[in-house]
Structure 1
Amino acid sequence: MDQTNQDLTPQDNSNDSNKIIQVNIEEQMKTAYIDYSMSVIVGRALPDVRDGLKPVHRRVLYAMHELGINYNKPYKKSARIVGEVLGKYHPHGDSSVYDAMVRMAQPWSMRYMLVDGQGNYGSQDGDGPAAMRYTEARLQRLGESMMEDLDKETVDFTLNFDDSLQEPTVMPTRIPQLLVNGSSGIAVGMATNMMPHNLSEVIDGCVAYIDNKEITIDELMKFVKAPDFPTGGIIFGIEGIKAGMHTGRGRVVLRGRVNVETMKSGKEQIVITEVPYQVSRDALAEKIGYLVNNKIIEGITHVANESNKDGTRIVVELRRDVVAQVIINQLYKYSELQTSYGINNVALVNGRPRTLNLKDMISEFIGFRHEVVVRRTQYELREAEKRAHILEGYLIALDHLDEVIALIRNSVNPDEAKTGLIEKFGMTEIQAKAVLELRLQRLTGMERDKIREEHAEIMKQIAHFREILANEGLRYQIIKDELLDVQKKFGDDRKSEIQYLANEMRIEDLIEEEDVVITVSHLGYIKRTSAAEYRSQRRGGRGAMGGRTRDEDYIEHLFIASTHHTLLFFTEKGRCYWLKVYEIPEADRNAKGRAIQNLIQLPTDDKIRTIIDIPNLEDKEYVQKHCIVLCTKQGIIKKTSLEDFSRPRQNGINAITVQEGDQLLDVSLTDGNSFIMMAVKSGRAICFEEGKVRTTGRGAIGVFGIELDENNDEVIGMLCVSKDDVTKQILVVSERGLGKRTPFIEPLDENATAEDKEKAVKITDAEGIEKLYALSYRITNRGGKGVKTINITEKTGALVGLLAVEEKDDLMITCRSGLTIRMRVADIREAGRATQGVKLINIEDGDEIAAIARIEEQEVEGEEDKEAAGIVDVNPAPEDAPEE
C-alpha cells in the first residue's frame, strides 16, 4: 500500500514533460464548457445579424457560387455540392449540409428560396427529400444577389478548417435576409426563433429608416406590419407581434385559412386551403380525425386531405344541422389549425449574441450595407486608379510614339528598354512594363482614340468614386436605390393575412384610410375593392363585370365605405353583426370574394339584407344623436337608438323581432329629424315624418308603415331624407333597367292654398332669400297606401330600387348576372312621379337589375376609359314614356 501511494506522489523532475499540473476540476469544466458553448453559438446555431445566415448556409451558398451553379446554368447533383462543402469548408456530417441545402429550396420552409432544387425535395405533408444522389440544385437569382460584389473586397475572408482555402466571414448581401427569411436554432444556454417577413415591407422599412434615423418602432410598423409566412395563413392578433417588434421577444398566433362551401346535397363542408407554418397537412388531418373519433368535436362526418403539389385542400364535411363557424372555432381550439410561435430575435452582433428589436435589425443591416458600399467603392477606386495609371503611360507613349519605337528597337533586351522608358519619359515601372506589352494593333489611329476615350471615362469614374467616399448622403442614396431595385426584382404581396382582435385599440393607425367599394353577393361572398378600379361611363352602356360569381349568384349589396369605419350587418331574420371595413379581405373587381360565414358567425339559414356604415361607434355624442330605422317586406317599420348597437358582440344581437312569413328588408341611419319613404313593388311610395314612429327597444316588433296590395306585393326599399337636406332627389329604378329622378321638393305654386303653405318647407337660397317649397311626395300618416312613384308596365317590370341622390353623385347598378355599370346621376333625366323614366342599362334577356347604390362624388382615375370599363356598345337612351 505504501509503495503504491509513493508511486502516485508527484516527483520533482527536471524534465518538464513529466510534470503533472494540478487544476481545479470545477474551473476546468467551466472554461471548457464556455469554450464549447461559444463555439456552438458562433459557429453553428445563431445567424449573423448582417447577412442572416448561419455558417453552414453561408458555406453552401459560397460553394455553389465557386462551382458556378448560377440560376441560368445547368443543375448539378446535390451530392457534388455537399461533397464540395464538406471537403473544403464544413467538416461535419453530410446530412447536416444536405438538410440545410434542402431547406433553402423548399417553398413551404423559406419565404424566399435561395436554392433552386430539382427532384424530390420532400413535401408539406412531412415527407423527407430523396437522397442527395438523386436530387439536383443550383442557385436562385435571389441567392446570387446575396453574393453580389463578393469579389470586390467588400467583406473579410478567413482561412478554412485546414488553412488551405479562404471563405467569407459574411456575405455582402443586398437582401435583408435575417428579417426576410427569419431563422431558428438552439445553442447552449440560448436559442433563436426569428419570423420571416415580406421583402417589400422590409425594404419599405429600411428606406424609411434611411430617410429618418430617429424613426420609432411604431412608425416602422406602418411598413413592416407583421411576419409573413411562406404557407400563408391568418395572423390572429397583433399585440404579441408588437411586443416582439419592440423588445425582440413576443408571440405570434397563426391560423389556417378556411372556407365554407355548400355541396350539391345542401350540406356544408369546411375547406382548409392554408395551414400554419411548419404544420404537416397529413398530421393535421389525422388530428382532426382523432378529435372526431374521441367525440371531442361533434358534427364532422368525414375528413380528407386532398392536397397536392398545386396547393393545400383539406376537406372537413359537416352534418346538416351544425353551424360551420362553431366547428371552425373548435378546430382552432383543439388542433394545429391554430398554432402559436414564440418570437426570440437573438442574432450575432460583432460576434456576440444579442436580442434585437425591429429597429436594431434594420439599423444593423443598413450599417453593414454602408460598410459594403464604402469598401466596394474603395476597391473600385483603387482598380480605376491602377487602370488610369496604365492609360496615362499609354498616352505618354502615344505622344512620343516615334521616339518610343526607336528606343525599343535600339534596346538590347526588355530590361534595357524598360529602363530607357523610365529615364527618358518619366514613366513608372508599371507604366513602362505595360507599354512594352502593348500590341502593335493598338497603335492604329482608331485604337489611339479609344485609349484617349477610355482614359477620359476612367477619370470621370474616379471623380465619382471620390465623391461617393466624401459624401455620406450620396452613399445612403446608393443603398436606397439598390434596395428599391431588389424590391422591384423580388418583391411580392403578403401571403399571411393580419386579423386584428376587437380589444386591440387604435389598429386603424396601422391601416391606410381610403375609400373602398364593398360588395356582397346573394350567396354571401364579400370583398372590398379600391374605388378607382371602377370606371365611370355614360348611361346606356353594357357595363363592366363587378364580381365573378357562380351561375346562381349575383351581387346584392354594393356601396362605398372608408377602411376605418365599422359596418353593421343586418340579416333577414333581424340579427345584427359588426365588422371593421379593413377586416374584409381585399380583392380585385373580378374576384368572387370571401364567404361571409368566415368573417361573422352567421347561421346557415340566415343571410345579410342590409349593411350600415358607421364612421365611429366610440363617439358617444354621435351614437346618442342617431337612430336605426328598420323596415320589413310586409311593411313593418321600427326605430331604435344607435346606442343600442354600439357594443359589438361576436355572436351578434337581435335588432328586431321578425314575425313568421316576414323578412327584414332595409335599414337606415337617421338623425331623428327625417322624412321616411317606403316604396313597394307595384310602384307606389309613401312619405311620412320620422316622428310618427316612436323609439323602441331592440326586441320590439314595430308598427305598420305602408299598406300592401293583395297581389304578392311587398316593400322593395326605404330611405330616410333629413329635413336639413331635402334638396336631394328621389331615384327609382325598375327591374328592366328603366329609371328616373324626381326632385324631393319643388317651388311652391303661387296659387297654393294656406294648408299647402303650412306644409311647405322653408329654404334660404344663395342670395339669402327665404323661399317656400312643396314636397313632391305629399306627407301623410304612416300606414297609408301612398302615391304612384313610377308607372309600372310590362316594359318596365316591377320596381326594384329607391335612392335619395344628388346630381354630383354617381350611381352603381348591378345585375343578377354580375354585370356592373357606373354612371353619373346628372346623366339621368328628371321626370315626374307617374312616368316610366329612361333606359339606364341594356338588359339582356333573362337578366334583371339586382341592386343599385349611390356613390358620392370623388376623383376616379381613368374616367371615360371605355376599354377598361368593358363597354361593348352604348345605345342612346329612349325618351320618357308619356304620363298616363
Structure 2
Amino acid sequence: MSSEPADDPDIGADRVKHVRIEDEMEQSYIDYAMSVIAGRALPDVRDGLKPVHRRILYAMHEMGVSSRSSHRKSSSIVGETMGDYHPHGDQAIYDTLVGMAQDFSMRYPLVDGQGNFGSMDGDPAAAMRYTEARMAPISEELLEDIEKDTVDFSSNYDDRLTEPSVLPSAYPNLLVNGSTGIAVGMSTKIPPHNLGEVIDATIELIENPDADVSDLVEHVKGPDFPTGANIVGKNAVRKAYATGRGRLRVRAEYEVEEWQNGRERIIVTELPFQENKARMVERIANDVNDGKLEGITDLRDESDRNGVRVVIELKRGANADVVENKLLEHHLEKTFGVINLALVDGQPQVLTLKETLEHYVEHRKEVVTRRSQFELDEAEDRAHILEGRLKALENVDDVVDRIQDSEDRDSAKANLREAYDFSEAQAEHIVRMQLGSLTSMERAEIEDEYEGVMETIEYLESVLGSEEKLLEVITDELREVKDEYDDDRRTSFVEDTGTVTHEDLIPEEEVVVVVTEDDYVKRMPVDQFDAQNRGGKGIIGADVKEGDRVSKVFRANTHDYVLAFTNHGQVYRLKTYEIPEVSRTARGKSAVNLLKLDDGEEITAVVTTDEFEDDECVTMVTRNGYCKRTTGEDFSNILSTGIIAADLDEDDALVDVEVTDGSKDLVIATEGGMTIRFDEQEVRTMGRNARGVRGIDLEDDDKVAGLVATDHEDDKSLLTVTENGYGKRTRLANYRQQGRYGKGLIDIKTNDRNGRVTSVKAVEDDDDLVVMSDQGQIMITHASDVSLVGRNTMGVTIMDLDDGDNVASVDVLPAATGAADAVDAADD
C-alpha cells in the first residue's frame, strides 16, 4: 500500500486538465451531433440504410429469417436486434421494422409482415407480440455475398460480436426506397424511385461515365411513390436531381364523373406520399362545415384492401371545376421537399443524382472486387487440393503402401510430402481420403472438377485484372435484379400550368347581383333576362322572405373586385364570383357568411374595380348630404373584417359611392326630387376617418337618394327613377354647375303618383337598365325607351308594380354588355 495519506491534495493532480467551459461545450456538442448524424439519422450513400435498418436486416439474416423461412414473431426479431446490435429502445426498433413492412411507406418493402402493420389512416401497428415478420426477397439482394468478405465488419456495442458497416447492396437502395431523417442541424428527405429506372440510369453511367444529369433523367423520370399520385411538372424534378434539393408538387389522382340526377362527384383513388387519409377527409369535412368549401353534399371514405377510394359528392348545379380547385389548393396537393443528403465516407453531403449513382458504383466495384478475390482464393485452394489428389491417383499403389507402412497419420503425411513434394494441406487431404475415392470414376470426376475450377480461376483473374470486365459483372448483376423485381411506374406526371387560382376556373361573364335589407346576396348571369319594353312587370329575380326587401341591385363581372359600402360607413372587399350563383327564384346566401357585417349593417353602395389608378378617388355621399373624397390608395388593403370608409354622425348613413379622378362634376340627387351639380375639386381629399363636407343643403324632410359623377361636357343623360316605378331621362347639360352646399334645382316631381326618388344614374342612349323591386321582381329594359325630357317633369312608367311594391334599386348595363346584345349573340 501507498504510505501517502489519502487526503493528499497532490494525488492525481497531474491528471487534472483545465479547459474553458465554452470549448468543452462546443466540442462535446459537436461529438454528440456527429454521433447522431453518422450513427442514427442519416443513411449511407452505399446501401441507403440507417444503422437501425441495417442491424434489423443483419439480425434477421443471422437468425435465418429469410424470405423462404417461416415468419417469426416481431418481438423475437426486435429482441435479437436490441440485444446484439442496437442498444436502444425496443419500441424504436419495432417502429422501424413496421415502416419497413408498410407498402404505403416503402416503394419496395424490405420486410414481409404478417398481421396488423398499420394503415394510411395513421392507425398504429399491433403490438410486436402479435405480429410476425420475415425478410422480403428484395432484402436478400442487399445482403447477397455478405459472407464473402465483401464489406467491412466492426465490433458491436459490447465487443461480443461483429456487424457489417455497410451491406453489399445489389441495387441502389438509397434512391429506390428513399429515406427521411432529422439529425442535428440537418435533415434528409430522399424520395423513392422505380427500381428499373434507377438501374437503367446506373448502367448508363457505367457505360458512359461522362453522362450528366440530363442524360440520366432520360431513364429516371422522377420519384415513384408507393402511393402513386402525380407529380406536377418536371422542372422541379430536374432541379432536384441537378442540385440535390428541390420542391415537388404532388397531386392526388382523382376523376370527376357524372352521377345520378345530373349531379357530379369526385373520386380520389391515389393520395400524395405520406398523406394521412383519415386526417385529409376530416379536414375536408371541417372546411365544408365551416363554409370554406362549398358545393359538397356528402363525403365518404370507401377505401378497402384493394386501394384508396374517397368519394366527394357535389350539389346539383355546383361547379365541379371550382370545387376541384379548392380541394387541390388545400387538400389534394402537397409539397415534397427533396434534400438528397447522405453519408459519404462518414460525412454528410448533399448529392446530385449523378453523384449518388457514382458513389454506389464505386461501392459495387469494391464489393465485386472483394468477392472475386475471396472466390479466387477459395478456387485456388481447391485447385491445389485437387492437384494433390490427381498426383496421388497417378501413384495410387505407392501412396497406399506408404500410408500402410507408416506408424501413424503424422508419419504418413511426412512420408508423402518427402516422396511427392506435397504441401501440408495436400498431404492432410490425401491421408483422409476414403478408399472409395480411388476408383476410376472418381478420378474422372476429380479431373472434371479440376478443369472447372481452373476455368473459374481464369475468369476471376480476368475480372480482377480488368476494370472493363469488372463493370460488365456489375452491369449483368444489376440487370438480373431488374429482371427479378422491376415493376410498372406508379407515379405519373401532369402538366404544370402554373399556379391555378380559384379565379382561373371561373368563367368571365356579366352578372346581376341582388342584395336585400336582411343581407341576403346572390348573383345571376345577365343573359338569364331578356330585355323588355318599359312598363312591363318583369320576372321574379329573388325570393324575398317575409319582412325582407331588396335594397340593392348592381351588375358586375365575375372577376371584378366588389367594394361593398355599408350604411355604417364600413367598406368590405370580395370577388364577385365569391357571391353564390343561384337561380332567379332562390333567396341567396346570407352576406354574413361572406362579409363580417355587424347587426343592423346593410350594404348601400357598391363599386366594382380591379384596382385604383394613381389619381383616382372614392367619392362618397351620406343620407344627410355630406360628401367626401378619399384616395383609392387608402382602400388598397381592406381587411376581412372591413375598414372604415367614412366617420358618420349617429343619425347619418352612407348612401352612394362613385370612383372619380379629380376632373368630374358631382351630381347629388335627393329623395324629394332635387339635384345639385358642382366640381368635385370643391371637396378636398381627406382620410378615411373624416366625415366630409356638406354637399347639398337639404330641406328638413329630405334625404340624399344617390350620387352621379359626370364629365364637364358629358352628353349622357341623368336617369331618375322613383319608388312607384316612374322615371325620366334628362341631358346632364341641363343641370348647370353651381357651388356645393346649395339647394340645387328641381329634377323631377315627387307627387303621390311618382313617390320619392329611389335612384339616379348616368346613362347613354344604347345602355340597358336593370330595375329591381322590393319584392324581388326584376326587369331589364332599354334606356332609350325612357323618354328624354327636361327637368321638373313627371316622367313615364318604367316598371309596372304590384300594390305595395316599390322600386328598390336601379343599375346600368353598358351597351357593350347589355342583355339584349347577350341574347342576340346567343341567337346568332
Q: TM-score range by the shorter chain?
A: 0.5 to 0.7
- Alignment pair present for 1:371 and 2:366: yes
Residue matched to 1:72: 68
Determine which of 445, 451, 456 is the counterpart of 2:446: 451
- Aligned partner of residue 173 in structure 1, secondary structure: coil
Q: What does residue 356 of structure 1 align with?
A: 351
Cα deviation for residue 700 of structure 1 reads 12
Q: CA shift at 1:503, angstroms? A: 6.5
- The answer to whether residue 128 in structure 2 is matched with residue 125 in structure 1 is no
Partner of 1:48: 44
Aligned to 1:462: 457
Q: In structure 2, what is the Cα distance between the partners aligned to 1:348 and 1:143?
A: 21
Residues 557-614 of structure 1: CA deviation (Å, up to 9, x unaligned):
xxxxxxxxxxxxxxxxxxxxxxxxxxxxxxxxxxxxxxxxxxxxxxxxxxxxxxxxxx
**2:396 corresponds to:** 401
Task: Report if aligned partners of 1:197, 1:228 keep a CA contact under 8 Å in 2.
Answer: yes
Residue 412 of structure 1 pairs with residue 410 of structure 2: no
Equivalent position of 1:340 in the other structure: 335
Name which of 79, 83, 90 aligns with 2:86: 90
User: Who is 2:477 aligned against?
Assistant: 482
In the TM superposition, what is the alpha-carbon distance from 1:21 to its structure 2 partner? 3.3
Q: 1:84 to 1:211 in 2, by over 3 A?
A: same
Q: Percent identity?
A: 46
Match runs of 1:655-734 below 5 Å: none
Post-superposition shift, 1:16?
1.6
1:391 aligned partner: 386
1:149 is aligned to: 145
Q: 1:276 to 1:702 in 2, by over 3 A?
A: closer
**Does the residue aligned with 1:279 lie in a helix, a strand or coil?**
coil
User: Which residue is equivalent to 1:158?
Assistant: 154
1:442 aligns with 2:428: no
CA shift for structure 1 position 189: 1.2
Partner of 1:484: helix, strand, or coil?
helix
Report the CA distance between 1:144 and its aligned residue: 0.9
- The CA RMSD over aligned residues, in Å, is 2.0
* AA of the residue aligned to 1:106: Q
CA distance in 1, matches of 2:175, 2:395: 60
Shift of 1:437: 1.1
Residue 26 of structure 1 aligns to a residue in which SS? helix
Q: Aligned to 1:265, what secondary structure does the other structure show? A: helix
Aligned partners of 1:701, 1:110: CA distance in 2, in Å? 57
Q: Is the 8 A contact 1:276 1:338 kept in 2?
A: yes
CA distance in 2, matches of 1:375, 1:296: 63
In structure 1, C-alpha distance between the alignment counterparts of 2:321 and 2:199, rounded to whole Å: 37
Deviations 1:638-694 (A, max 9, x none): xxxxxxxxxxxxxxxxxxxxxxxxxxxxxxxxxxxxxxxxxxxxxxxxxxxxxxxxx
**What is the CA distance between 1:18 and its match in structure 2?**
8.2
| Higher Rg of the two aligned structures | 2
Among 384, 405, 428, the residue aligned to 2:423: 428
How far residue 243 of structure 1 moved from its aligned partner, in angstroms, is 1.5
Instruction: Tell me the number of residue pairs that the alignment of Structure 1 and Structure 2 aligns.
Output: 500
Other-structure match for 2:213? 217
Closer, same or farther in 2 for the Cα pair 1:449/1:38, shift >3 Å?
Answer: same
Which letter does structure 1 place at the counterpart of 2:124? G
For normalisation by structure 2, the TM-score amounts to 0.59
What secondary structure does 2:262 align onto? Answer: coil
Of residues 13, 17, 23, the one that matches 1:21 is 17
Q: Give the aligned partner of residue 685 of structure 1.
A: none
Change (3 A) 1:701 1:37: same
User: Contact between 1:47 and 1:53, CA under 8 Å: does it hold in 2?
Assistant: yes
Q: Find the counterpart in structure 2 of residue 229 from structure 1.
A: 225
Give secondary structure in 2 for the equivalent of 1:476: helix
Q: Which runs of 5+ in 2 are unaligned?
A: 1-6, 500-822
**In structure 2, C-alpha distance between the alignment counterparts of 1:334 and 1:42, rounded to whole Å:** 37
* Matched residue, 1:803: none
Partners of 1:19 and 1:13 in 2: CA distance: 12
- TM-fit CA distance, 1:325: 2.2
Equivalent positions of 1:267-346 (< 5 A) are 267-335=263-331, 337-346=332-341
2: CA distance, partners of 1:498 / 1:108: 19
Output the TM-score relative to the length of structure 1.
Answer: 0.55
Which residue number corresponds to residue 181 of structure 2? 185
Give the secondary structure class of the aligned counterpart of 1:277. Answer: coil
**2: CA distance, partners of 1:134 / 1:339:** 35
Q: Using a 3 Å threshold, how does the CA distance of structure 1 residues 444 and 701 change in structure 2: closer, same or farther?
A: farther
CA distance in 2, matches of 1:500, 1:24: 59
Q: Is the 8 A contact 1:63 1:84 kept in 2?
A: yes
| 1:310, distance to aligned residue in structure 2 (A) | 1.6
1:203 aligns with one of 179, 199, 204: 199
| CA gap 1:74/1:237 in 2 versus in 1, 3 angstroms | same
Report the Cα offset of residue 334 of structure 1.
Answer: 1.7
What are the superposed Cα offsets for residues 386-426 of structure 1, whole Å, 9 maximum, x if unpaired? 00011111011111100110000000011101111111100
Tell me if the contact between 1:13 and 1:19 (Cα under 8 Å) persists in the aligned partners: no
Note if 1:169 corresponds to 2:165. yes
- Counterpart in the other structure of 2:108: 112
Deviations, residues 511-555 of structure 1 (Å, cap 9, x unaligned): xxxxxxxxxxxxxxxxxxxxxxxxxxxxxxxxxxxxxxxxxxxxx
Residue identity opposite 1:85 in structure 2: T
Q: What CA distance in whole angstroms lies between the structure 1 residues aligned with 2:84 and 2:330?
A: 48
The letter for the 2-side match of 1:447 is E
Shift of 1:23: 1.6
Alignment partner of 1:34 out of 30, 33, 36: 30
Superposed counterparts of 1:493-508, under 5 Å: 493-502=488-497
Match of 1:806 in 2: none
| Offset of residue 306 of structure 1 | 1.2
SS in 1 for 2:255: strand
Checking the alignment, whether the CA contact within 8 Å between 1:397 and 1:435 is kept in structure 2 is yes
* Alignment match, 2:643: none
Deviation at 1:12, TM superposition (A): 8.2
AA at the equivalent of 2:399: V
